[in-house]
Amino acid sequence: MSPIELMSDNITRNGEILKMTLSDFSQEDMLARPVPGANHAAWQLGHLIGSAAHMINAAAPGIVPEAAARIGEKCSGKTANVDDPAYFPDKTQLLEAFAQTHGAIAEWVKTLAPEQLARPTPGPMADFAPTVGHLILMTVSHIMMHVGQCQVIRRKLGKPLLF
């Protein structure tokens, strides 16, 4: 397996772990906060969609489908405190947009030649992901960071431990 294939596969696998983590969440569970000020799963899922769309489309315009990116736009730092269930798409819509977003990214990664991983990223993104390779790995690790946060919500809700 090449490093590029491994990166693409990890995006897909991490998305599957996220889906497994949220599989038994109800709509109400999606808005549970483990402690005051922590993010709920609905916002986190939207944030993963929006941030991936923003970062990847800046480096490779048009990779993330526009409809999925629009769903993610609602989940910025300014909306992290929103608890209104009507504000967020339902769990199914969020998971579908996540799959579209990260599926498109995983497919794009497969098209890259090894030398393209060293291509610089544009603008302020370069401060934390200076190359396309860094950006891809940031996408992989970002998903898992939020899986960890959703695992804490599982514990708060008394759901069975998965990992």
Provide the pLDDT confidence category of residue 94 given band limits of 50, 70 and 90: very high
Provide the pLDDT confidence category of residue 74 given band limits of 50, 70 and 90: confident
Stated pTM of the model: 0.95
The sign of the dihedral angle between the CA atoms of 146, 149, 154, 160 is positive
Provide the residue type at 14 as one letter.
Answer: N
pLDDT in tens, 11-70: 999 999 999 999 999 999 999 999 999 999 999 999 999 999 999 999 999 999 999 888
3-state secondary structure of 105: helix
Domains and CATH numbers, the chain: 3-157 (1.20.120.450)
* Residue entry with tokens 């998305």: 15
